[in-house]
Structure 1
């Protein structure tokens, strides 16, 4: 009698565990060795593709990191989808239109991955690996990338416009935007350090160099020569004047010196709650690297499609 009761209790608990797993996604966790048996060469294929791309154009490393950021308030490769008759995608969202880059690099890597292991590796995972390898190649920290994401079958320009932070945001808007994705103030400041590499268009920093008061005067003047009040919209300037192609903590030193290119960046050091973090990272490159790696892993795990959700796209630009 006791044995039957114990077995019944065991079966009941097992049923509860199965239901809980289904509801809360216990089995949906990403894994660093997800492709160990199905596509063991995935990491080397992506790394080789990234090194080739950056050697061809150094700027592309920053572009791929940015692409991952803009995808990862979702992390489902929706940013890679071209518009179709049924939806207007994210490529023409305010934050991406005429500025999102690196699609061809992802296409090239995906083609090589498809030859090695067809219909196995998602575009979302390739993008996550590409961002990590770009940062590492440009001198930044290494982090383990959890894999097992699947690709979205749709995209939304309006959703991208709502979720992706804008260069005009103040600190309160930035905190709200990141908090909506489960990211803390510490995550916000650490991840903003990604702006230590890359370039930015005149349209994104024009208002700052002419209207903001918390900006170094000589810095503003030098930028005004490149970016007039009207015209030259696509003229580029480095987000980090000192080392725009090297991943380091000089971005935070620029904030302390009131030399941030974007209004949203300078908001992180403007007499508020984030000042102490900026000072910490400006003084300690190792601390910045550690926190950046931790925060980007957290960001990369935002609402991934797993299990039977989504699909593994053969072409990253369109649904199968």
Structure 2
């Protein structure tokens, strides 16, 4: 464990991930940092100003924005499909799937898109807006990040998909009750490894969760009215007080008690203490490599953690992207053109 920690501490974290990344073989265009430097030079500033405006009024907006990007990339890749509305011809869209019914922050995306359309009509994709707001949200929420400076460079050049399926969302989104083997499989399907899984799980450093996402751990983990043995008993008791057996579906609990708006390493400290809110959080300790990373990160600095998080976010943001002539640039993020 100590040897791995030293190796990790000495590893070089590459933040300047600016080399182009090829999309589908049929799509000659590439993802790159600064894709809109000629077509819409103010694109990233416009998105940033939009996020900052909402954050100044409600700091809790950061977690929903980060979650939107995750939920987009795990279904059909990072193509903005999570933003599409259900229509009479399309069938239920991703946002109407059970795992997505608690998603929030769509209004921020819509506001950013409206501002971009006013400045650069038909240029910036909704998929890229999702990637940018996720970065900006983390930057604003990161403890000690004076002024909320950007913490990693986002590769852009994605185009928007035209298909959104609730059934695909149910099949592809990682469950809060998943064990490690399932999580590893789902992350691998997006080109992400165990290191990415452990680091991106750190997104749970901010935000809240509805009781339904973890109540099974408290009352009926194996179907026999028992509690999840991987959950600290005292923490389980506190959670039961907040979420009684007949809990209100609107009741929420902070992912990190007392720190739901501060992006730091406290999440990993909780997992080590068996106080991860989701079974999928505690599942990280089921694997030697992931567990070693959890122990390393719980003692790491916020700066080091966020650097690593940024690298894995860039990797996730390449999943299943549409580039070139594939897809479209939506005028309204909730509707295909």
After TM superposition, is the score higher than 0.5?
yes
Do structure 1's residue 235 and structure 2's residue 244 form an aligned pair? no
Q: Alpha-carbon deviation of 1:26?
A: 7.6
Q: How is 1:32-43 mapped onto 2 (pairs within 5 angstroms)?
A: 32-43=33-44
Q: Alpha-carbon deviation of 1:68?
A: 0.3
Q: Alpha-carbon deviation of 1:182?
A: 1.2
Structure with greater contact order relative to length (CA < 8 Å, sep ≥ 6): 2
**Cα separation, 2, equivalents of 1:196 and 1:173:** 22
User: Which structure 1 segments of 5+ residues have no match?
Assistant: 1-20
Choose which of 85, 89, 108 in structure 2 pairs with 1:86: 89
Answer yes or no: is the 8 Å Cα contact 1:200–1:236 preserved in 2: yes
Choose which of 118, 121, 124 in structure 1 pairs with 2:121: 118
Once superposed, what is the RMSD of the aligned Cα atoms?
1.7
Choose which of 179, 182, 185 in structure 1 pairs with 2:191: 182
3-state secondary structure, aligned to 1:314: coil
Q: Alpha-carbon deviation of 1:56?
A: 1.9
Q: How is 1:180-219 mapped onto 2 (pairs within 5 angstroms)?
A: 180-210=189-219, 211-219=227-235
Q: How is 1:241-256 mapped onto 2 (pairs within 5 angstroms)?
A: 241-256=257-272
**Cα separation, 1, equivalents of 2:241 and 2:126:** 40
Answer yes or no: is the 8 Å Cα contact 2:174–2:186 preserved in 1: yes
Asked which structure has the greater CA Rg, the reply is 1
**Cα separation, 2, equivalents of 1:272 and 1:113:** 45
Note closer, same or farther for the CA distance 1:262–1:184 as it changes in structure 2 (3 Å cut).
same
1:308 equivalent in structure 2: 325
Cα deviation, 1:174-207, whole Å, max 9, x if unaligned, reads 0111111111000000000000000000000111
Q: Alpha-carbon deviation of 1:268?
A: 0.9
1:60 equivalent in structure 2: 61
Note closer, same or farther for the CA distance 1:123–1:22 as it changes in structure 2 (3 Å cut).
closer
Q: How is 1:261-300 mapped onto 2 (pairs within 5 angstroms)?
A: 261-270=277-286, 272-285=288-301, 286-300=303-317
Note closer, same or farther for the CA distance 1:25–1:240 as it changes in structure 2 (3 Å cut).
farther
TM-score by length of 2: 0.85
Matched residue count: 299
Answer yes or no: is the 8 Å Cα contact 1:242–1:250 preserved in 2: no
Answer yes or no: is the 8 Å Cα contact 1:203–1:234 preserved in 2: no
**Cα separation, 1, equivalents of 2:114 and 2:330:** 11
TM-score by length of 1: 0.90
Q: Alpha-carbon deviation of 1:22?
A: 10
**Cα separation, 2, equivalents of 1:134 and 1:273:** 28
**Cα separation, 2, equivalents of 1:133 and 1:254:** 25
Answer yes or no: is the 8 Å Cα contact 2:205–2:267 preserved in 1: yes
Note closer, same or farther for the CA distance 1:23–1:119 as it changes in structure 2 (3 Å cut).
closer
2:15 equivalent in structure 1: none
Note closer, same or farther for the CA distance 1:284–1:23 as it changes in structure 2 (3 Å cut).
closer
Q: Alpha-carbon deviation of 1:269?
A: 2.2
Do structure 1's residue 319 and structure 2's residue 336 form an aligned pair? yes
Cα deviation, 1:201-257, whole Å, max 9, x if unaligned, reads 000011123321122222111111110112312210011114210100100000001
Note closer, same or farther for the CA distance 1:269–1:23 as it changes in structure 2 (3 Å cut).
closer
Q: Alpha-carbon deviation of 1:58?
A: 1.6
Q: Alpha-carbon deviation of 1:273?
A: 4.0
Choose which of 156, 169, 174 in structure 1 pairs with 2:178: 169
**Cα separation, 1, equivalents of 2:117 and 2:211:** 38
3-state secondary structure, aligned to 2:267: helix
